[in-house]
Chain A
Amino acid sequence: MAKCFALMGWSLPVIESMQKLNKPFVVVSFPDFESYAKENNIPFVSYQFDEWSDASNSLDLKDKLDAYGVDVAVPLFEETVEWAGALNSLYRDDPKVLNRAFLFRNKAMMKRKALIGGLRVGLFEEVYSKEGVLNFMNRLNQANLQVDGEEDSWVHIKPFASAGTVGHRLLRSKQDVEEKCEVEDFPCLAESHLAGKEFSCEAFIHGGKIRFMNITEYVKLGYSNFIPEGNYLHTKRDRIMKEMQKLVDLFGIQYGMIHPEWFLTEDDELSFGEVACRIPGGHILELCGQAYGFDALAAFVCCHDPELTEEELNELLPPLDARPSTFYGNVMIYPHKNLISKLIIPEELKEEPYFLDHNLIPPLTNQKVNSREGFGNHFGTVNFKGDDPDRMTELLLHYENVDFYH
């Protein structure tokens, strides 16, 4: 068993899970959290993650962590993936662990890697300016045999290294390119639009093998998802499993959890979107834990430990073929107006048997809503729970359009 885990990033639920598990750990995060950690007796090393210099680097951090006997680093957030990678490279004496971390942090690089390994991906390119996006769109239009008057092919742009949907823009036309792209967006990844059902997988990996895999069905990207996957997607589970193991082998992932996004197109093809190796957004691990009845955060951390025994793994993770009968889903709530003053929970929600909870709070008097850059900044989450995935889908789609803030 690991002597001590370094939790890279501040997350109260993860800390709580580790306390309950009674595993040794130390939290590494920004100095802002130090006083809270001290008050609550949380082992803590303060570190300035956004600084990289002679005095602030992985060797220095390793020195500090040695005092705690750390031998496994666990990235909780996108921004700590390289730090954890660097530390684990040192702990495992394997420089490729760090390179792999870079792979997770560059969306163009990971796609290229996937392409080489025979996974299906959309057309993609690194772009450096608006011009670049326009050229990319033009080439895409050509390939799609566009004739005059037909719509442009849709293009997505994403920062190379941001979490999830942050900074993600969908451009539907050249006019969109002109209007929506900012100078700060570049350089970034441009890619063609993949039509189809989007979902993510959370594969808990140990010794290079998938030991448990969850499928999260996205009802609408950035708004709503539920777990386990609905019945149709479930019929594809074996295929998805095969593709997932391919991805694991290709990326050479030995320990931890990966969270790739996939598209299942109408012609039944699986396309790879992107992959991350930290805690996924959208409260996915929370839903996953509720649906499968296990502590998904504890499992996430422990899978990073090469010395975890078979017994411990079986205790931490649900069986590989588990299929829960209750579905847990959530919808993230954004205000629909620019100026809001009231939170109104609709009557229908209160009478909804699937309604589990919400954490919405009323706005300040006449609060201005910050304009949304891509996705993000939701005001709260409404959770649902029920036995019928189709009803769940219906509900999530419905509540995405319900205005809670007036």
Chain B
Amino acid sequence: MQEGVISISNLESFDELFESYKSATVLTRGEKAQKILGQLDAWCNTIEGIQQIYERIPAMDQAGILKDTPWENPSRLVPQLVNGTYKSGHPNSTYELLSELRMLALARGKIEASESMKEEAESYLQEALVLNLEFVFNEPQEETRLLMSEHELKKVHSLFGFVSEQIQLSKVKAALVEELELICEQRPVVTEKQRRIIALVKEKIELDPNDPADTALLAFQRSIYRPTSGTVDKTFAEYGEYLNGLKETQLETEAEQISESMLSYGLVSTYHATLLLFLVKEKKYDLVAKCLALDEAGVVRFNEHQEFVCSIIADVIHPYNAQCIYGLSKTLENGVLSRTAVRAGLHNLLTISLHPKVEERIIKSVGSSTSAVSPKQYLIGALLRILGQPLGVGQGNNPTCQSARGISMWSQHAPAKLIHMVHSAAVHDDLSFRFEGSEIKYSESALGLVQKLDHQLDAVSVTLVPMLDKIYNEMMRRASGRGEDPHKWVNPGLYGQWIQIGFASAYDYLSNAIVDFDGFLRVFYGMCHPEYNGGHRLVYPNPVGIFITTAKGEMLGFHAISLLRVEKDPKGEERAYFLNPNNEGRQNWGQGITPSVYGNGEIHGESSLPIHQFAARIYAFHYNNLDAASKMDKIPQSEVDTVKELAKESWGKSYIWLEFKKQW
């Protein structure tokens, strides 16, 4: 059978079920509708299937398939409820899908409707689309990933793919701008999502430069498609030709404009690579520094390592992997490239041959493979991005927050170790770790958490994550059964010995309950809150385990993040700044707890919450066990009570709470 095509017999089955539905009286209609939905549910995996359903929607609507359901009256439906309904699964999600297709049929006149209803349906769909970009691009959020099965994800992806092809987006510009800002402000290493939204906007909306509402969207478009005045109406190849004829001052203008464009959203255009390679070839080093948009410190470091940097540029950068220019620029500014070990590691990487399996994964991750850029160039390019933007590392659509957190931590605090890991992994398609005195090898470990890696990741992650994931799981296996959370031993084993020895867990394995939450919070505040820990800052990121909760505050699952710092925000409120490897700026954890990604003093890539809200979601962290006791008593009970109430009213409902005191 051809993939994606609904077999004739299944189409006939629908006809049979539909006939039986139509001939039913009100007594058995519900039951028969359920059967039709069971069959249609099976069609939803592909756009072709959605098309088939769409063709049948007028008849189904006429027969009253949505009658006596919450979807009965299209003008009473609210796009804000769409997302949650899909998460509740079949049959609700299948009803919701029919409802969306009916909207489309109304908007397109396939089902007869008044002009105002057509208009209403169109607006509804546009809004639903923007609210569900995670489905359009198949990049589910953490909550979504936990709740929805693979089939349901395919279903919504097919549906929204189909719907987005059919409708315009002219009415939801502001929402799109907000979405783009939320993503770009985090400066993620992988930029596909914002590029896809920008491309979608380009294709879907006729923008007017004179309309102030359109300027923001145009600015996003410019940063990719026309970053300088010289790039207008040229391909990057034509631009290369064009550069030959420019005077020094004109080149300078190009370099300034292009670097400004890169800095505004962290997006790099193909032209940028063309210009940079041209300047390196022409040995115009001052302009190379300008073109890299370096700050003062960056310029100094560039001058110091000019030859090395230029050779990296010449060997690695190409218009098709231009995004790494931003990373390279940041590695100069943050000083990573000044380390001898880092430069040695990068130099070595340039000389290796990749293992064919690793090449395969990298090619899969970049999607359209082009012979112009080798997998090794992609790999080193991605490494530059990670070294330059440690907080931009994401887990993609994978349950591998642990591995992403590790890559980010090493990038900041053990960059040469990270490079070395990439090196071995890329050459041998294998990796080995030391754990409690013995060796754990990827190639000899059993299954990891992720069975089917989603390849919407950077080239370093696709190389390392499958291995780190298995090694992590093997460490967990070896450390389990000790009556305590295995992370106590696995975190230092995986991330490095700079993880503190002390390990606090709110959950007690032996009593299967939350024990002495007061003490737990006191240790936490004493560990990181400047007011109670002697004004100290965090030295290394602290691997913290948090509960993921729904927008209603209900317990959903567990997640790994790193606490980076606790400081007063611009408004004077004490905030926890943390790395959330799922790169999602629009989270709602219930109880008014909504992590922000910009506007509250965050560095690009950080998420933040007021410290008490953050504390209300944690269940495990590391601390200095020699320090803790002396600080615990300083924390006021009122602060503890506030957090505890939030905790008890949300995830806490899923646990038994025991109040006796524990030795911390």
CA distance A354 to B33 in the complex (A): 19
In the complex, what distance in Å separates the CA atom of A361 from the CA atom of B91? 7
Indicate whether A345 sits within 8 Å of B35 (C-beta atoms), given known contacts A16-B24, A350-B42, A353-B10. no
Inter-chain contact B149/A344, CB cutoff 8 Å: yes
Which residues does chain A contribute within 8 Å of B35, judged by CB atoms?
356-359, 383
The answer to whether residues A353 and B7 also contact, given A19-B25, A40-B27, A344-B151 and a CB cut-off of 8 A, is yes
- B149 adjacent to A385 (CB under 8 Å): no
A342 touches B149 (CB 8 A): yes
- Chain A 319-342, CB-CB to B under 8 Å as 1, else 0, gives 000000000000000000000001
B539-552 vs A, Cβ < 8 Å mask (1 yes, 0 no): 00000000000000
In the bound complex, what is the Cα–Cα distance between A20 and B26 (angstroms)?
12
Decide yes or no: A347 and B38 within 8 Å by CB, A40-B26, A357-B13 being known contacts: no
Interchain CB contact under 8 A, A357 and B17: yes
Q: Is A134 an interface residue, CB under 8 A from the partner?
A: no
> Does A68 make an interface contact (CB < 8 A)?
no
Whether, in the assembled complex, A166 has its beta carbon less than 8 Å from a beta carbon of chain B, the answer is no
Bound CA–CA A345/B39 (angstroms): 11
Instruction: Judge whether B45 is part of the interface by a CB distance below 8 angstroms.
Output: yes
Instruction: Contacts A350-B45, A355-B39 given; indicate if A20 touches B25 (C-beta within 8 A).
Output: yes
Query: Please, what's the 1-or-0 string for A6-23, where 1 marks a CB less than 8 Å from any CB in chain B?
Result: 000000110110011000
Taken together as a complex, chains A and B put the C-alpha atoms of A350 and B26 apart, in Å, by 29
B89 within 8 A of A: yes
How many residues in A have their beta carbons less than 8 Å from beta carbons of B? 28
State the CA gap A349–B42 with chains docked (Å).
Answer: 8
Would you call B9 and A358 a contact (CB within 8 A)?
A: no
CB distance from B546 to the nearest CB of A (A): 20
Query: What does DSSP make chain A's interface, helix, strand, loop or mixed?
Result: mixed
Q: How far is the CA of A344 from the CA of B31 in the complex (A)?
A: 20
Nearest Cβ on chain A to B549's Cβ, whole angstroms: 13
Task: Give chain B residues whose Cβ lies under 8 Å from the Cβ of A347.
Answer: 45, 151
Complex contact A353–B17 (CB within 8 A): no
Does B85 reach chain A (CB closer than 8 Å)? Answer: no
Contacts of B150 in A (CB 8 A): 344
Kindly provide the distance from the CB of B42 to the nearest chain A CB, expressed in whole angstroms.
Answer: 4
On whether the beta carbons of A356 and B151 are closer than 8 Å, the reply is no
On chain B, the residues within 8 Å of A358 by CB distance are 35, 38
Task: Tell me the complex Cα distance, A353–B10, Å.
Answer: 6
Q: How many whole Å from A279's CB to the nearest CB in chain B?
A: 14
Chain B residues with CB under 8 Å of A343's CB are 89-90, 149
A19 to B31, alpha carbons, bound, how many Å?
17
Q: Which residues of B contact A20 (CB under 8 A)?
A: 23, 25
Contact-size category for B: 20 to 34
- Taking the closest CB of chain B, its distance from the CB of A131, in whole angstroms, is 43
Asked if B42 and A16 sit within 8 Å, CB to CB, the answer is no
Q: Measured between alpha carbons, how far is A362 from B25 in the docked complex, in Å?
A: 26
Task: Kindly supply a per-residue 1/0 record for chain A positions 93-125, scoring 1 wherever the CB is within 8 Å of any chain B CB and 0 otherwise.
Answer: 000000000000000000000000000000000
**B24-54: contact bitstring with A at CB < 8 Å (1 yes, 0 no)?**
1111100100111011011101000000000
The CB with the most chain B CB atoms within 10 A, among A13, A19, A350, is that of A350
Q: Which residue of B lies closest to A362 (CB)?
A: B89
- Determine whether A230 belongs to the interface, using a CB cutoff of 8 Å to chain B: no
Q: How far is the CB of A290 from chain B (nearest CB, A)?
A: 8
| Residues of B contacting A362 in the complex (Cβ-Cβ under 8 angstroms) | 88-90
Given contacts A342-B149, A345-B42, contact A386 B24 (CB under 8 A): no
Say how far A328's CB is from chain B's closest CB, in angstroms: 10
Contact B9 A16 (CB under 8 A): no
A383 vs B39: C-alpha distance in the bound complex, in angstroms? Answer: 10
CB-CB under 8 A from B13, the residues of chain A are 355-357, 385
- In whole angstroms, what is the CA distance A385 to B10 when docked? 10
Does B1 make an interface contact (CB < 8 A)? yes
Chain A residue contacts of B8, Cβ below 8 A: 353
Verify B26–A354 contact, CB threshold 8 A: no
Judged by a CB distance under 8 angstroms, whether A241 is at the interface is no
Q: Which residues of A contact B1 (CB under 8 A)?
A: 351, 353
Q: A362 vs B149: C-alpha distance in the bound complex, in angstroms?
A: 11
Of the listed residues A347, A353, A360, the one surrounded by the most CB atoms of chain B closer than 10 A to its CB is: A353
- Cα–Cα distance between A355 and B6 once the two chains are bound (Å): 11
Q: Is the CB of B39 within 8 A of A16?
A: no
User: Cα distance A19–B38 when bound, in Å?
Assistant: 27
Contact of A16 among B7, B16, B27, B43 (CB under 8 A): B27
Q: A15 — which chain B residues lie within 8 A by C-beta?
A: 27
A359 to B31, CA, bound (A): 8
- Contact of A361 with B26 in the complex, beta carbons under 8 Å: no
Identify which of B38, B89, B149 gathers the most chain A CB atoms within 10 Å of its CB: B38
Question: Inside 8 A of B27's CB, which chain A residues have their CB?
Answer: 12-13, 15-16, 19, 40
- A347 to B26: give the CA distance in the assembly, Å: 32
Out of B7, B23, B38, B88, name the residue touching A357 (CB < 8 Å).
Answer: B38
Q: How far is the CA of A16 from the CA of B30 in the complex (A)?
A: 13
User: Which of A40, A355, A383 touches B10 (beta carbons < 8 Å)?
Assistant: A355
List 7 A-B pairs, Cβ < 8 Å.
A13-B27, A16-B28, A20-B25, A353-B8, A357-B13, A360-B38, A385-B9
Pairs of residues from A and B, 4 with the lowest C-beta to C-beta distance, nearest first: A357-B35, A350-B42, A358-B38, A353-B9
B residues in contact (CB < 8 Å) with A: 1, 7-10, 13, 16-17, 23-28, 31, 34-36, 38-39, 41-43, 45, 88-91, 149-151
Since A359-B38, A386-B9 are in contact, a sample of 9 more A-B pairs with Cβ atoms closer than 8 Å, ordered by chain A residue number, is: A16-B24, A19-B25, A345-B41, A347-B151, A350-B42, A353-B10, A355-B10, A357-B39, A361-B90
